[in-house]
Amino acid sequence: MALEHSSEDAYEKIRMGIQACFPGSELPSFYQVKRLLCDFTGVTSIISHMCINSCVAFVGPHADFDTCPECGEPRFDQLRQIRGNKHPRAVFHTIPIGPQLQALWRHPESAEKMHYRRNKTQQILDALLVNDGLVNTYDDIFCGSAYLQGALDGTITPDDTLLMISIDGAQLYESKESDCWIYIWIILELSPDHRYKKKHVLPGAIIPGPKKPKFIESFLSPGLHHVSALQCEGLRIWDSAHNRDFITRLFLFLACADGPGLLTMSNFVGHQGKNGCRMRCPLKGRRKPGASQYYPVLLKPNEYDVPGCTHGDVNVYEIGPSTSESYVQQLNYLLQACTHKDYESCRLETGIVGPSVLLGLQPHLILSIPECFSSEMMHLSGANMAALWLDLWRGTIECASTDNRANWRWSVLREQRRWEEHGRAVAACKPYLPGSFDVAPRDPSLHANSWYKATEYITWIYSLCPALLFQVLPHDIWRNFCKFVAGFRIMGQYSITPTQLERARDFLAEWEYEFEQIHYQRRVDRIHFIRPCVHLTSHLASEAAHVGSPICSSQWTMERTIGNLGQEIRQPSDPFSNLAQQGIRRCQINALLAMYPELDLSREGANPRASEDLGNGYVLLPKRDKRPIKIQGHEAQIISEYMGQDGSPNIRRWGRLRLPNGQIARSEYVESQKPLEELRMARNVIVSD
């Protein structure tokens, strides 16, 4: 297992080596180990055929097809078929979740972790009683009204297993050729500090590209079918911590994905539609005359008479997300359409294309539609909103023939010279951003579009730009941007108090109006400035009250899972099938570790050598002075005063300190030994009184 990142070849060589030295020892071969893993854990994969162009999976209604209903490519290898055996040209693997869940209960240590939701629920309910029905902070999904309601009225029982599904497309290498789609399961029974870790995130299936799957639903089908079956029959669990046998029901609580990914699960019209809001709120979009795409514009444009869009200004406080009752009603309405024309007008009216694939699960065991579709904080902040700000500032947003870029006061980075200047300023911040902040943003004028990561965008736009664009953007526009950032930063916290949440809601609601007034100015030819993400932002606060802080249901984890799996690939020739193998192996190893936690060599808690544990999560780390030194002057005086002693104190300087939140602070003593360019400064700290 230590060889997780090495090759099969390496394992065999080491095995030979050990056997040569200790002739009596019998180490299993690589193949045998694989078999053992599978037998021990019960985790294996379901193989399904798929179209060579990734159009559909040959499952469900397509199970008996011999050619792809989309592109007509044959399903089986033609040469071999002539010889009489049917060999699929492409397959993908689904890893059933049932055995993996069972494994998590098999060791008392792991099983104890699975009790988190139970304990947390009790805590929250206690707090509600004390605080007149308000939670202390929204710091987990279970603080949201959706869960609490379910827990109180018995739709969700303590024995259920709550799951979140997250789906995303991914690029493994820089080339387009490596596109693939992955979905993962996150087990909400575990506490947030465990559930998002590699060890507990369960890959559900890996759908190879390079082409984008046309019917993702069909690829989800084997996995969802498995879940649905378990929902019907119940999954037997032995809780080794309490030596108890019980039947658990899998409850799908949240589904998250970026815009297009979500559509595959929700089957809504998508954000260009008239009812394009993924929260299915009643806001009707507006479109330009003659165009088909709708935008969620609040303010009614001047001199505007496009039929169906002439409603007056919308009060953002009056629109909330829709409920499952109205979804069911509208879906029924849509399904009654008899002719295609009927259907099209129903679709326009309801914003629904067809039934969601999640309706295939047991309806009482999912959080209702559309409530379970979470707005995706990471894409919203890191991709969509970031792109909008940049398009505005750089003046790259489409300019109508009736408009003039010269009048865009916000396009302060339009000139190449100013853009490059800004880029250099961004890159110059790097040494001052601690390493714990992940990748520091690179110079965007050199690297934009090429693998600029979501975290880079987020740091750049939301952390650096308020300062870097101060006195660059006109003051009123800068303030409007800051208001957005203020609201967004609150929404990006892991733990949000009800008061903060209210502030964030007000910030974002006010921001949306002002943003429209400043940029779009009720001009028909600027309707396209108000992209769907502008509107989605206003839902963030109400959604947090509903399902907890957005970051808990965001796709941060997904990115890391892909990163990890990508790293484990050692056969670039056929990355996809290897990725699938890695995914399966990941699941097996995770299951094994849950059953035998003592096998986990990387377990937390071990401090490095020459460190000193101060308790409460504080650990001093090397390097340090070899022996105490005497100091003089101002510093000595202050230390003596602090200690209430006379004379110059002996001190021993330490280089680093690990904080309870996992960050490592460094002292000037070590940081001054490195040149600034090589530094990620970590000696600026916040202290409590």
Partner 1 sequence: MQDDGDDLYGDPVNPPQYRFVDVALVTLYSHPHPRLFEDSYGVLVSSRKLGEESLCVLALTAIRSVVGMVPHRVQLQEGGMQDRFFLVQKMGMELAYTGTEYDDDQDN
Binding to partner 1, residues 162-221 (CB under 8 A): 191-194, 196-197
Q: Is 395 exposed, middle or buried, given 0-12, 13-18 or 19+ CB atoms closer than 10 A? A: middle
Among 661, 675, 677, 678, binds partner 1 (CB under 8 A): 661
In the complex, minimum distance from the CB of residue 21 to partner 1, in angstroms, rounded to a whole number: 39
In the complex, minimum distance from the CB of residue 499 to partner 1, in angstroms, rounded to a whole number: 14
Give whichever of 306 and 429 is closer to partner 1, judged by the CB atom: 429
Site for partner 1 in 366-405 (CB under 8 A): 381
Among 573, 642, 646, 677, binds partner 1 (CB under 8 A): 642
Contact call for residue 616 and partner 1 (CB under 8 A): yes
Site for partner 1 in 92-131 (CB under 8 A): 116, 119-120, 123
Contact call for residue 472 and partner 1 (CB under 8 A): no
Question: What are 49's strand-pairing partners?
Answer: 91
Among 39, 344, 398, 668, binds partner 1 (CB under 8 A): 668
Question: Per the structure block, which two tokens stand in for 557?
Answer: 């984890």
In the complex, minimum distance from the CB of residue 477 to partner 1, in angstroms, rounded to a whole number: 12
Give whichever of 151 and 679 is closer to partner 1, judged by the CB atom: 679
DSSP 505-529: HHHHHHHHHHHIIIIITT-GGGGGG
In the complex, minimum distance from the CB of residue 666 to partner 1, in angstroms, rounded to a whole number: 8
Q: Rounded to whole angstroms, what are the CA distances from 193 to 89, 116, 548? A: 41, 11, 15
**Rounded CA gap, 625 and 637, in Å?**
20
Angle at 652 between CA 646 and CA 658, to 5 degrees: 120
Residue (of 370, 368, 367, 364) closest to 351 by Cα position: 370
Among 114, 277, 397, 682, binds partner 1 (CB under 8 A): 682
Contact call for residue 649 and partner 1 (CB under 8 A): yes
Contact call for residue 333 and partner 1 (CB under 8 A): no
Read off φ and ψ for residue 106, nearest 5 degrees: -80, -15
HEC-encoded secondary structure of 417-438: HHHHHHHHHHHHCHHHCCHHHC
Q: Within 10 A of 169 (CB to CB), how many other CB atoms are there?
A: 18
In the complex, minimum distance from the CB of residue 142 to partner 1, in angstroms, rounded to a whole number: 12
Contact call for residue 459 and partner 1 (CB under 8 A): yes
Q: Is 497 exposed, middle or buried, given 0-12, 13-18 or 19+ CB atoms closer than 10 A? A: middle
**x-or-dash string of contact with partner 1, 291-330, rule CB under 8 A:** ----------------------------------------
**Rounded CA gap, 298 and 514, in Å?**
11
In the complex, minimum distance from the CB of residue 546 to partner 1, in angstroms, rounded to a whole number: 19
Contact call for residue 63 and partner 1 (CB under 8 A): no
End-to-end CA distance of the chain: 46
Coil vs helix vs strand at 321: coil
Q: What number of residues does the chain have?
A: 689
Contact call for residue 482 and partner 1 (CB under 8 A): yes
Contact call for residue 485 and partner 1 (CB under 8 A): yes
Contact call for residue 433 and partner 1 (CB under 8 A): yes
Coil vs helix vs strand at 35: helix
Contact call for residue 650 and partner 1 (CB under 8 A): yes
Residue (of 93, 60, 58, 50) closest to 182 by Cα position: 93
In the complex, minimum distance from the CB of residue 629 to partner 1, in angstroms, rounded to a whole number: 10
Read off φ and ψ for residue 476, nearest 5 degrees: -65, -35
Site for partner 1 in 525-584 (CB under 8 A): 551-552, 554, 556
**Rounded CA gap, 658 and 679, in Å?**
18
In the complex, minimum distance from the CB of residue 597 to partner 1, in angstroms, rounded to a whole number: 17
Site for partner 1 in 254-283 (CB under 8 A): none
Question: Total binding residues for partner 1 by CB under 8 A?
Answer: 90
In the complex, minimum distance from the CB of residue 434 to partner 1, in angstroms, rounded to a whole number: 5
Give whichever of 171 and 463 is closer to partner 1, judged by the CB atom: 463
Among 186, 256, 486, 541, binds partner 1 (CB under 8 A): 486
Question: What are 48's strand-pairing partners?
Answer: 92
- Strand pairing class (250-257; 161-171): parallel
Question: What are 618's strand-pairing partners?
Answer: 615
In the complex, minimum distance from the CB of residue 396 to partner 1, in angstroms, rounded to a whole number: 25
In the complex, minimum distance from the CB of residue 469 to partner 1, in angstroms, rounded to a whole number: 10
Residue (of 322, 197, 299) closest to 586 by Cα position: 197
252 and 165 Cβ atoms separated by less than 8 Å: yes
Contact call for residue 606 and partner 1 (CB under 8 A): no
Give whichever of 280 and 624 is closer to partner 1, judged by the CB atom: 624
Give whichever of 36 and 614 is closer to partner 1, judged by the CB atom: 614
Give whichever of 254 and 485 is closer to partner 1, judged by the CB atom: 485
Give whichever of 175 and 471 is closer to partner 1, judged by the CB atom: 471
Within 8 A by CB and 6+ apart from 189, the residues are 114, 115, 116, 117, 161, 162, 195
Contact call for residue 483 and partner 1 (CB under 8 A): yes
In the complex, minimum distance from the CB of residue 380 to partner 1, in angstroms, rounded to a whole number: 12
**Rounded CA gap, 630 and 640, in Å?**
12
In the complex, minimum distance from the CB of residue 530 to partner 1, in angstroms, rounded to a whole number: 22
Within 8 A by CB and 6+ apart from 87, the residues are 76, 77, 80, 81
Give whichever of 120 and 288 is closer to partner 1, judged by the CB atom: 120
CA 635 to chain centre: 47
